[in-house]
Amino acid sequence: ISSRASTILSALDISPEKELPGVYDGKWRGTGDVLESVCPTTGEVLARVHSATPEELQTALQKTREAYTFFRSVPAPRRGEILRQIREALAAKREELGALVSLEMGKIRTEGVGEVQEFVDIADYAVGLSRMMNGRVVASERPGHSILEVPNPLGVIAVLSAFNFPVAVYGWNLSLSLAAGNATLWKPSPSTPLCSIAVTKIVSGVLEKNGIPGAVAGLVIGGKDVGESIVESQDVDMVSFTGSEAVGRQVGKVVQSRFGKVLLELGGNNASIVMPDADLSMAVPAVFFGAVGTAGQRCTSTRRLYLHRSIASEFLERLQALYASVTPGDPLHASTLLGPLHTRSAMDIYTGAIDRLRAADAEILVGGGQYTDLSSPLDRGNFVMPTITVPKSTDVGLALWKTETFAPILSVAVFDELEEAVQWNNGVPQGLSSSLWTKDLRNVGKWIGPAGSDAGIVNVNVGTSGAEIGAAFGGNKSTGWGRESGGDAWKQYVRWSACTINFSDDAPLAQGVQFPA
Ligand code: UN1
């Protein structure tokens, strides 16, 4: 293993020479199939990790249930104090963990660190929440009666997360789940095992120090079979899944068929709309970050750009100049803006999408290929050129508009009226994020109102990606309708009871029903 990698791993207490256990349920175990963590920048194998065997998964599920039984009775503010310590422990390793995200996932350093910050932020939020997860008292129609709506812990929450945010998305779920008094079992993407091991070490260190069972925040690394068993398990009260629409559709069906709760965060196909009065000095860099940042591998990445005819050519000229300044590099270096795609297969998906664009006579303004002149070791990395394309047709029903390609490909169309652009914005199956650039308040009103954007995130003069944790995060339609992180998202991590209590000496029935008459 290179010194580049071993410095990062040892700073996080991970010994790269060994085969690592990929299960934590209070104890580290794992004797199942070996998964490799491959560095997307150099192709180097960073570590080998044992996934969970079916028996180990069942044991982990059982331990998680036991941990829940203990943890649900710990007072919420005390749970908040544990979260506060987790927040401190994460912040102390912010740089190291951020570097590991860059090393293993491939996003650039500032974004890797930013992702750890996102976990720190949501932990802060959940510390406060632990004293504010209030139910309410409802006025009863009957004398001497009170109705309470009581939030209680839900049970076991399984978090199935994706490679692109190997730390933050788990952080959103864990923080709310912990505050709410649940036990959480994490199945991360099998291609980012080291991030999940490093995070679990940090979190479990805090739990163990506080005498809390480690299985309150368990980990099971594994592939499809492990994921399927979790989704099918009656022992899991809620499945929070982040990933593709295709897998999400299956997860949703299976969990629904056993009447479990499900929270889905699936694909995005996010558009930015630029009006004639937009401040281009803000809009151009924002679209650049939205489309090229994270090498186009955020759910919230900007994939579609709708430009008003009057500013289209100037906008594209300025955007192309920014694209021309991008050179691929090691995401660990501070100056790099473009890291690799996460996997080899993502490169094939990128190439396939470019081929289909070419076949459909789309104009390729920038990019449209792989780099051929990279020097070692980057020549073994998954680097692709950020691409701007102008498809021949603006018909959003076409596959090239309505399919999410998880790569830096930005498709452009020109419009004349805002209504047309909003129609295009809403015309795809996905509904995660959207962004309008304008200074005209009337446009803003249309955009955020009933005839406006139908996405879960509806921004104005802010790009499609990079949301803060304070608002509920998630999308509509085929994005799955789930909401995570801030806002009212916590309300899904509890079971609500409506408790009518009679303090009187009579027992009247509701609605004035007389029985017997
Ligand atoms: C994702 O891509 O799955 O808003 C999550 C953003 C980040 C989270 C993205 N805060 O882009």
Closest CA to 354 of 408, 289, 279: 408
How many angstroms separate the CA atoms of 352 and 325, rounded? Answer: 25
Residue 21 makes CB contacts below 8 A (sequence gap 6+) with 28, 29, 30, 31, 49, 50
Closest CA to 296 of 423, 380, 384: 384
- Locate the ligand 1 atom nearest the alpha carbon of residue 457 and give its number: 4
The answer to whether the CB of 267 is under 6 A from ligand 1 is no
Mutate to test the pocket of ligand 1, among 118, 303, 473 (most ligand atoms within 8 A of CB): 473
* Residues noted as catalytic: 265
pLDDT over threshold 90, residue 256: yes
How much of the chain, in percent, has pLDDT values that exceed 90? 99
Residue 16's pLDDT is 78
The answer to whether the CB of 169 is under 6 A from ligand 1 is yes
How many angstroms separate the CA atoms of 22 and 34, rounded? Answer: 9
Residue 185 makes CB contacts below 8 A (sequence gap 6+) with 60, 61, 64, 156, 157, 158, 159, 215, 218, 219, 220, 230, 236
Residue 18's pLDDT is 82
Tokens of 309: 């005819």
Residue burial 143-182, b: 16+ Cβ < 10 Å; e: rest: eebeeeeebebbbbbbbbbbbbbbbbbbbbbbbbbbbbbb
- Centre of ligand 1 to C-alpha 293, Å, is 11
pTM: 0.97
Mutate to test the pocket of ligand 1, among 113, 118, 165 (most ligand atoms within 8 A of CB): 165
- Bridge-based pairing of strands 409-415 and 302-308 is parallel
Closest CA to 172 of 106, 241, 103, 259: 241
Q: Whose CA is nearest to atom 6 of ligand 1?
A: 466
Residue 517's pLDDT is 85
- Centre of ligand 1 to C-alpha 119, Å, is 12
From first CA to last CA, the distance across the chain in angstroms is 83
Q: Whose CA is nearest to atom 7 of ligand 1?
A: 466
Closest CA to 267 of 290, 301, 238, 295: 301
pLDDT digits (tens, 9 = 90+) for 374-390: 999 999 999 999 999 99
- Centre of ligand 1 to C-alpha 407, Å, is 15
Q: Does ipTM top 0.95? A: yes
- Centre of ligand 1 to C-alpha 508, Å, is 52
- Centre of ligand 1 to C-alpha 299, Å, is 6
Q: How confident is the model at residue 17 (pLDDT cuts 50, 70, 90)?
A: confident
pLDDT over threshold 80, residue 71: yes
Tokens of 188: 């991360």
pLDDT digits (tens, 9 = 90+) for 87-131: 999 999 999 999 999 999 999 999 999 999 999 999 999 999 999
Closest CA to 231 of 257, 205, 209: 257
The answer to whether the CB of 466 is under 6 A from ligand 1 is yes
How many angstroms separate the CA atoms of 350 and 146, rounded? Answer: 59
- Locate the ligand 1 atom nearest the alpha carbon of residue 162 and give its number: 3
- Locate the ligand 1 atom nearest the alpha carbon of residue 298 and give its number: 2
The answer to whether the CB of 299 is under 6 A from ligand 1 is yes
Closest CA to 203 of 114, 48, 65, 92: 92
Please give the helix or strand (H or E) that residue 150 lies within, else none.
Answer: strand 145-153
Vertex 241 angle, CA 240 and 242, to 5°: 130
The answer to whether the CB of 300 is under 6 A from ligand 1 is yes
- Centre of ligand 1 to C-alpha 124, Å, is 18
How many angstroms separate the CA atoms of 159 and 238, rounded? Answer: 9
Q: How confident is the model at residue 324 (pLDDT cuts 50, 70, 90)?
A: very high
The answer to whether the CB of 298 is under 6 A from ligand 1 is yes
- Locate the ligand 1 atom nearest the alpha carbon of residue 469 and give its number: 10
**Lowest mean pLDDT across 16-20, 198-202, 242-246, 394-398:** 16-20
Closest CA to 274 of 396, 405, 410: 410
- Centre of ligand 1 to C-alpha 392, Å, is 30
pLDDT over threshold 80, residue 460: yes
Residue 241 makes CB contacts below 8 A (sequence gap 6+) with 160, 231, 247, 248, 251, 262, 263, 264, 265
